[in-house]
Amino acid sequence: MSNNIVWHDHNLSKTDRAKLKQQRPCILWFTGLSGSGKSTIANAVESRLYQLHKHTYLLDGDNIRRGLNAGLGFSDDDRVENIRRIGEISKLFVDAGVIVLSAFISPFQEDRDRVRALVNGEEFIEVFIDTPLEVCENRDPKGLYKKARKGEIPDFTGISSPYEAPANAEIHVKNSELSIDACADIIIQYLQQKGYLNAQ
């Protein structure tokens, strides 16, 4: 980083912005295999939060790779950089007082922990969408597993690249056993019980 870069303080704080929105900002970090249902569940949760008049933004892996991270591939180094950038964006949303939903495979625990370290204590909520590999392969909504099995996609998580499942996620959702609505209920209930949806 250049020595000529100086941090510029804002008149308004994160607390000010959150108070205006009547919520506690946080990162809901959805992690799981491709096809596990991360984006679908995150969409359902965001819709519920909208109905509760909460301020949110949903960051999705494929969408981000079409813009901000369009130049990144899927090597281990590029995956690390992908998550680093998303972590920094998520941190900015938290500073804005927003509940940000980040849906990314994010296969490495170290990368998820690095994002957690960017924000304060309870501002990072790891949501493990726990769906067995065979279920994800059977769903295969994008046909990616078939290509990976044929060797057409190198470094594919769960096939030729590892996925490190969270050991202590704040929210553990077994998606193969529940409906999308039931999964969303679990997450909304957690936010309500922990006071994220209350005024400051």
Cα–Cα distance measured from residue 140 to residue 156, given in angstroms and rounded to the nearest whole number: 13
Contact between residue 32 and residue 38 where contact means Cβ atoms under 8 Å apart: yes
DSSP assignments along 14-49, one per residue: HHHHHHHHTS--EEEEEE--TTSSHHHHHHHHHHHH
DSSP H helical segments within the chain, as ranges? 14-21, 38-51, 61-65, 76-95, 109-116, 133-139, 144-149, 180-193
Active site annotation includes 75: no
Query: Could you say which of 34, 36, 106, 161 is catalytic?
Result: 106
What is the rounded distance in angstroms from the CA atom of residue 21 to the CA atom of residue 24? 8
What residues are labeled active site?
106
